[in-house]
Amino acid sequence: MFLFSALAISTFAASFVVTAQVNPVEHALQTGERAFAELKAADEAGANITALGVQFNVALGLLDNASRSEKTGDNATASALASQAESSFLAIIPAADSLRDAAVSKQQQEITDRYIGTPIAALIVAVAAVAALQIYRKIRWKQFTELRIKPKVEV
Amino acid sequence: MLKELKVFVAVFLVSLTVFSAILYLAQVPYAYDQYFALYTLGSAGLAEHYFPGDVVDILPGTRMSWHVGVYNHMGTVQLVRVVFKLLNLTMLGPDQANNNTASPRESFYETTRLLISNETWTLPVNWSVLNATTSPNATEIHSLTFNGQVLTDNVDVQALYGANYRIVIELWVYDDSGGNFSFAWAANGEERSAYNQIWFNMTRISILP
């Protein structure tokens, strides 16, 4: 009875291990989805993702070929190509994350600069206006003091 | 002195208002027309000469050279998939009038690409019918050569007298929320889709020796 139970458990465990094995192409595809999500987040934050986009497309090409190899039954090639694609996707994830962080920091700095810059610009304009007013007054005063009453010439 | 102070305060307030308004207007997102463009061009990269000698009644081995292009004007990076299907006249094609549904036919070839904003992707397509047979009133395609590959899955299509075959090219877009590719996508609050189809015949196969 004990032996039978142990056999049943081990059979169940073995079948679980078999079903739990993830297809390499599927696994690479899931990693690719994560990489795309990171790239999109970086793009939306304003980062330049052109170089990473090229890298992503190379990985997609490998994954396409892996998928075709899998369909023709060439599982060894499919697995190798999927593994290469996954490595590329895994390299893209932290790179995209860094780009996004840099873009967010830059964006925040720009917002801060704008909010500080606006009252400073207004202050400069106001000081310039007062200075211009004072210069104008000085000129007018100088013109006033230089006025002379011209003697009347009698013919 | 009091007059200077009054001028200073007045100019400061006016400048602050004007600069704040400019800042606000600069930050308001402008209306961006979101769309994808999908197009298929002939051998010379123009909307003509899709078939050698412009003869749409092809034979097995006749080589077609097309350029399929996708342009991303959605404003953000997008993951797109171009899907090729072979249909006859009666098989259901894509239906944009009915909730933007794709053709239920399985694809014989598909390829995926990431497009950054404002990017155009051109996919060269070289194909020919590799094997087709004919019966008294029908022609049946069995295999294609497509960009150097021999394809037999989802290309077995029969057409009455070999007339009115079509290659349908659908654009599928990755949907972040659903985590899958979808034939329809949201653009400016509306659901959109895009496909091309190019018709051809194989009526002359029966006269081959």
Residue at A67 is within a domain: yes
Of A60, A118, A133, the CB nearest to B23: A118
* pLDDT, position B92: 95
Give B12 to chain A, closest Cα distance, Å. 5
Residue at A151 is within a domain: no
Number of structural domains (chain A) is 1
- Judged by CB atoms closer than 8 Å, whether chains meet at B179 and A44 is answered as no
Complex confidence, ipTM: 0.84
With beta carbons under 8 A apart, name residues in chain B contacting A130. Answer: 4, 7-8, 11
Give B55 to chain A, closest Cα distance, Å. 32
Residues of chain A with pLDDT under 70: 1-21, 148-151, 154-155
* pLDDT, position A18: 45
- Judged by CB atoms closer than 8 Å, whether chains meet at A121 and B15 is answered as yes
Compute the distance between CA of residue B163 and CA of residue B8 in angstroms, rounded to an integer. 84
Where exactly are the structural domains of chain B? 1-30, 35-207
Give A114 to chain B, closest Cα distance, Å. 8
- Judged by CB atoms closer than 8 Å, whether chains meet at A126 and B15 is answered as yes
- Judged by CB atoms closer than 8 Å, whether chains meet at A37 and B117 is answered as no
Q: Among residues B192, B199, B138, which one has the least CA distance to residue B168?
A: B199
Q: In CATH, what class is B35-207?
A: mainly beta
**Mean pLDDT across B146-151:** 93
Quick one: DSSP state of residue A151? P
**Mean pLDDT across B118-142:** 94
pTM score of the predicted model: 0.81
Residue at A150 is within a domain: no
End-to-end CA distance of chain B: 108
| Chain A nearest-CA residue for B117 | A43
| Chain A nearest-CA residue for B178 | A33
Quick one: DSSP state of residue A152? P
Are the C-beta atoms of residues B108 and B125 closer than 8 Å to each other? no
pLDDT at B42 exceeding the cut of 60: yes
Chosen for mutation from A39, A125, A127 (greatest number of chain B CBs closer than 10 Å) is: A125
Domain that holds residue A73: 2-115
Compute the distance between CA of residue A24 and CA of residue A36 in angstroms, rounded to an integer. 18
